[in-house]
Structure 1
């Protein structure tokens, strides 16, 4: 288990933005009910014992996974918890029976995505003590889908559903089946000291292995994450508001993402009041990027869509250290469309604005600091600001100071 312990070198944080309430880490206290989950230890399904413990101790309970390996061969739906502490000392291994999971994963109600575990409730506190681990047996999935995006019924590892005034700390996630986790319909949640490693061991890419996605959630703090994966490190999607992401390291994948969003025709969605700070990106494609669907619907979600409405605004991305970023530091694009289709980048009515990128240092492979393709139908992007940028080109060590722009209105601190 020591391999997955959090690195003590992560910097501690001092300040929060005023719009986000800081949930503090929680120490277990005396509970009316305590449930210690026994592991079979022989590879047979431990999910029935897990479900029984969560049912018995769902109110004012203390649920304990011992320092053992638990085999999870069937879905878990443990929501509607109240005032529950969950101690995860052990190792949860999902079966590699992909045929079973394709038939039995549970839909989450967005993008036709599904999950193997719904977990949520009020005043819920999950502690992995730096050793508790979720292993999705993801290589079996990477080998089946062979890079196909949003393979039907391929499940994510965990869906935090309806968590309120809750915390998740000291947890490790390895070889996630698809997205590592989604935080949905949740409010005032701390996710701290989280380790994610979903990387392929052969030529089949670990695509769609986002470290975390948020949607329909408010007041979420994500602190001291270390993510090494094949896609977005953290992605904020529909109706994500008052989010802080800080003091983290993102490796290999796409970097930090706002979106994709605007996929559902006529639906109004937002991403608002976001602070991202003190992040190190190592070998990611971008440091940060924005992606919206075009204004023309082509096919249907999860792989198709478009025509959504709404806005992204009041975002601050600051104090980033870039190491070997594979493309530009910042990309804004409104061109996402059905796989294989060429989207009209000027058709989206979804507005992107009020985003500040400040204090970026390091090296990138691209020749631009930022590449921005904004939609003219939405009036272009507005309030885009860059400041204190000190980047060099990886191959030549020459200064990078150019920007590529389309429909950026009133750029602040830079010239297109």
Structure 2
């Protein structure tokens, strides 16, 4: 059975009245969405995708049902930017993303269009009609999003995005008021995304533009602003794949993974860089929280805060093949901010990471709280011009009560960490006197100052310090800063 839904949206502008229409075409279990900005009268449809083929990488030769039964969900391997043959038949021709389009500030015409139309209703209609045991295809063009979206009830759903999602920024008050709360530290999000057995692929064509410069300028270097929305939050999801999507100028954090299990995020490109006097504060690549079995691989990130951050109650996190620019790089924390609620992080691997001009490289930040950080590996990390490469603190931000923290740090390894630091410090480690660090080890550490001079390390309250594989030339006080302003 074929269903065609048409929406009429009327906007009263200073220049008059604009009438636009758009369609969600449902054919079997497939919904095909056309953006308002592409054309006013486009209607298109494709044949329904059979369930056995729905999650296949059509660029792969392994397309038998048996191929779906092996390996960790999602199956098969991510598409890595390839478009499925003849998917979708495009009724409107637009240019593929090029270097000019991906340059910060170059999407002016698309952002201007966001002030005149709203594609949110038809996007939500597609998820409503095909979000269970179905396929959703967003064809090429610009989708203007002016409202929050909650799509957390999806199941056995494949989402294919070939267009550009642009979040409005002329209605800041709406977003501050209406963004969905995500519990953690008063944060909120523009899009809650979740469900069971869901994959969202962008094939290197999907672009998420948050109009972040407007948010950066109105925030004026403040750290956290209530209501400032995370671009995409995976919320209470299981068996989720996000692959092949580009982010430009996110409103706040690019992504957040919360209360979720078995999430794979691959082949993502993120860049939020300010072109004004104000900094791109708190534009993390991603943060995990209360989640387990998370795989993050093949990312390139330029942002104004942590590149990848593993927060409290995160377990079995594997991060690999990452390139970070201007960021806080690979981080455990922050965690332990609620002294009455323990935070735990277990079994984390960061490996094969390259860093450029970043604040830190491989580090752990906790508040003086309760819980533990256990079994963490930082491996094969190469850096250029990093402010303070290896850093551990038990009292982040405040520099107080550093030795009373009961949040223990144990079994942490730094292996093959190489490159240059901005100043003369390679590592600064301060563990709590009440819960000294245990099982700390270093192997093949080769960090020098960018001018070629040696870099030193300072440490306090580390058990087995003499045999841990790193020579410490002195003590590290509790109030040692996260970022340095010169040699120490």
Same fold (TM over 0.5): yes
Describe how 1:6-405 pairs up with structure 2 within 5 A. Answer: 23-24=74-75, 25=77, 43-96=116-169, 97-294=171-368, 308-325=369-386, 327-337=387-397, 341-378=398-435, 380-395=436-451, 397-400=452-455, 402-405=456-459
Q: Secondary structure at the match of 1:408?
A: coil
- 1:343 positional shift: 2.1
Q: TM-score, normalised by structure 2?
A: 0.73
- 1:347 positional shift: 2.2
- 1:222 positional shift: 0.4
- 1:21 positional shift: 5.2
Name which of 398, 410, 413 aligns with 2:464.
Answer: 410
Note the residue ranges of structure 2 that are not aligned, 5 or more in a row: 1-70, 83-87, 93-109, 473-488
Q: Relative to 1, partners in 2 of residues 1:348 and 1:21: Cα closer, same or farther, differing over 3 Å? A: farther
Q: Distance in 1 between matches of 2:166 and 2:445?
A: 43
Q: Distance in 2 between matches of 1:342 and 1:284?
A: 22
Q: Distance in 1 between matches of 2:418 and 2:236?
A: 38
Q: Secondary structure at the match of 1:376?
A: coil
Q: Distance in 2 between matches of 1:45 and 1:334?
A: 46
CA contact (8 A) 2:73 2:239 kept: no
CA contact (8 A) 1:21 1:219 kept: no
Q: Secondary structure at the match of 2:364?
A: strand
Q: Secondary structure at the match of 2:395?
A: strand
Q: Give the root-mean-square deviation of aligned CA atoms.
A: 2.2
CA contact (8 A) 2:162 2:206 kept: yes
- 1:368 positional shift: 2.4
- 1:227 positional shift: 0.5
Q: Distance in 1 between matches of 2:273 and 2:78?
A: 31
Matched pairs, number? 371
- 1:41 positional shift: 8.4
Q: Relative to 1, partners in 2 of residues 1:196 and 1:274: Cα closer, same or farther, differing over 3 Å? A: same
CA contact (8 A) 1:125 1:168 kept: yes
Q: Relative to 1, partners in 2 of residues 1:26 and 1:195: Cα closer, same or farther, differing over 3 Å? A: closer
Q: Distance in 1 between matches of 2:116 and 2:288?
A: 33
Q: Whose Rg is larger?
A: 2
CA contact (8 A) 2:362 2:391 kept: yes
CA contact (8 A) 1:22 1:221 kept: no
Q: Secondary structure at the match of 2:400?
A: coil
- 1:377 positional shift: 1.9
CA contact (8 A) 1:192 1:223 kept: yes
Q: Distance in 2 between matches of 1:168 and 1:311?
A: 29
Note the residue ranges of structure 1 that are not aligned, 5 or more in a row: 1-19, 29-33, 295-307
- 1:342 positional shift: 4.7
Q: Which has the higher contact order (CA 8 A, sep 6+)?
A: 1
Partner deviation per Cα, 1:79-124 (whole Å, 9 max, x = no partner): 1111000001110010102111111111011111100100011110
CA contact (8 A) 2:74 2:199 kept: no
